[in-house]
Structure 1
Amino acid sequence: MVIISKGIYLYLEMNYRIIISWMILVGSFSCQRILEPETDNWESGIHQMTLAHDGLDRTYTVYIPEGFDENRVYPLVLILHGGGGTADLVIENDNWLATADEQKFIAVFPDGSRNDMESSASFNTNPQTWNDGSERTSIGAVVRQVDDVGFIESLIFKMKDTLSIDNDMIFATGFSNGSSMTFRLARELPNVFEAVAPVAGSDWMQQLVPDTNPPRLLYITGTEDPLNPFEGGDIFIGNTYIGTKPDVEEMILPWTDLLSCENGFTTDTQQDIRTYQFDCTESEQLKMLALIGHGHHWPGSESSLPFAVVGENATSLNANDVIWEFFSASF
């Protein structure tokens, strides 16, 4: 059981005002942005778009890398923000645009849904979340039963209709609640993705779509993450229960069956990274990295959240580089 003391929580709540005000401002900007019309004529840069799905006007940002050639076929990488986050915050904090420019892939940053879709996203009062299949009552999109799987599937179809996307090079990654959503996509749209890389979230689902081939999986998490405890357990902020997480090693083991690997693993620790190695029929099918001493942060990014809530930003790992290396192992 992970508990953040009431005294610390109240102190942090007061000091959050500046941080949350900044996040609300950024979120307000992202939701009041001018959305581009439908287009087949893409050019390098940021494109902020909308897609009507299941009665909701969903927003997402497309980044076309520098030197874009409309005659070239490109990989597609979907990057899902954490609970309460936005596409804009991921773009600002996690350096994915530079990675896309360097590695020449198209990056798509979808936004989750919020309770009041007519109002701006707010970390505090109108958070954007994903329906990750967890049945957690603390996740708004779960309570509202939002069709996020259908939204992502429609979004990918739209990208393939308007851009030259390689069907064998479609990938997804996400953080926290976005990580759990990435696990769900891997289970429910297994033939869509070649590989996925959830970071600091849980796989809440039990089933895989029958007669399908699941994507290769890289999982990354910190060993000192109070919001995704490595050994599992109940999570509280103050006296407020926000969910129970499974033990990380036990959670990942079902993927050995899904990916035709031997049950079990070996580990190798180098500096602050413990690598879990699995005996699979093909290399780079399943991999897990435990970041020793690391908390609830995107590895390799700056974090504005207080360490007392999310733990230390302690790793030397750059998640963008490691994830792309895993994704690109297939080509």
Structure 2
Amino acid sequence: MERHTLVHQGRERRWIEVPGDSGTLLLVLHGSLQSGSVMRNFTDRTFEGLGPTVVYPDGVKHHFNDLRTGFNEDARRLKVDDVGFLTAIVERYAMPTIGCGFSNGGQMVLRLLFDAPGLLAGAATFGASMPTPDNTMVPTGNYRPTKLLSVQGTADPLVPYEGGEAGIGGANRGETRSAVDSAAFFAGLNGCAGRETQQRGGVRVDDWAGEHSVRLVTLEGAGHLVPVRKELDARLGPNPQAPTGGELLSEFFFA
């Protein structure tokens, strides 16, 4: 593990690097109130050892300035340029890059798809669906088709699987689309055709086929998390533990 910094907008920004050997970069973005090191432990290092070099950037004051109009944290109030910061990391490594994010980090990955089109060769989100049009602060017209994996639990207490208000109490993040509508939205942007569904026990997989395919993995009864083989905070909801986030990502991008 290596620690790195760069200065962006006059602010020192940090990230952790875990080297890989595949010539691919995996950009892993943490959720609200987390950091790169917390994300690494929260995910039980599930994204490491898959081949790519893995980097875990830190947000500002534990958040990334994502694409939701309803997002109201210091990263937004300070007008933090996370698109520029993350672009600088990707350009430094000069490798094909998959952006992977949980919750607020997943929303930041979605922002990169619209504000830095073509930066990512693939995208994966956990506990993050596309906000509704009135809750989207970035223009969506510059999007370039990008292979996308979305993983969501049906018992997520913070991001409702069927759509609606995301967040809790005073930390609401505005309205989000349902998991299926979100995946279908990207399938349309990607020019995918048809939808095929498979049931694997408590896991449902919906695939939209095409050159830039889209996959929605529905974890029946799961909460707001990246599935890993360890106990997580019960307030996030049930953790099915298998398949893990790393296994789901590897199957979609590297199989």
TM-score bracket, normalised by the shorter chain, equals 0.7 to 0.9
Are the equivalent residues in 2 in contact too, given 1:135–1:143 (CA < 8 A)?
no
**Where is the helix percentage greater, Structure 1 or Structure 2?**
1
Aligned to 1:60: 15
Are the equivalent residues in 2 in contact too, given 1:175–1:200 (CA < 8 A)?
yes
Aligned to 1:34: none
Matches within 5 A, 1:55-204: 55-65=10-20, 74-96=23-45, 99-101=47-49, 103-114=50-61, 128-160=62-94, 165=95, 169-204=96-131
RMSD value over aligned CA atoms? Answer: 2.3
Aligned to 2:188: 257
SS state of the match for residue 74, structure 1?
A: coil
Question: Against the structure 1 CA distance between its residues 300 and 74, is the aligned structure 2 distance closer, same or farther, given a 3 Å change threshold?
Answer: same
Identity within the alignment, %:
26
After superposition, the C-alpha distances for 1:21-78 in whole angstroms (9 at most, x for unaligned) are: xxxxxxxxxxxxxxxxxxxxxxxxx11111111121111111114xx6xxxx611110
Q: Structure 2 counterpart of 1:265, which letter?
A: R
Q: Structure 1 counterpart of 2:102, which letter?
A: F
Give the greater-gyration-radius structure (CA): 1
Residue 210 of structure 2: which of 256, 281, 300 is its match? 281
- Give the TM-score normalised by structure 2: 0.88
Q: Which 5+ residue runs of structure 1 have no aligned equivalent?
A: 1-45, 115-127
Residue 292 of structure 1: which of 217, 220, 237 is its match? 220
Work out the CA distance in 2 between the residues paired with 1:316 and 1:51.
36
Are the equivalent residues in 1 in contact too, given 2:206–2:217 (CA < 8 A)?
yes
Q: Which 5+ residue runs of structure 2 have no aligned equivalent?
A: none
Residue 268 of structure 1: which of 192, 198, 217 is its match? 198
Work out the CA distance in 2 between the residues paired with 1:99 and 1:177.
18
Matches within 5 A, 1:212-231: 213-231=144-162
Are the equivalent residues in 1 in contact too, given 2:129–2:178 (CA < 8 A)?
no
4+ residue runs over 6 A deviation: none
1:50 aligns to 2:14 (yes or no):
no
Displacement of 1:266 after TM fit?
4.0
Are the equivalent residues in 1 in contact too, given 2:47–2:245 (CA < 8 A)?
no
Residue 240 of structure 1: which of 148, 151, 170 is its match? 170
After superposition, the C-alpha distances for 1:222-276 in whole angstroms (9 at most, x for unaligned) are: 0110111111223564x535233322222222212211113x6343222010111
- Give the TM-score normalised by structure 1: 0.69
Displacement of 1:135 after TM fit?
2.0
Question: Against the structure 1 CA distance between its residues 242 and 303, is the aligned structure 2 distance closer, same or farther, given a 3 Å change threshold?
Answer: farther
Aligned to 2:248: 322
Are the equivalent residues in 1 in contact too, given 2:229–2:241 (CA < 8 A)?
no
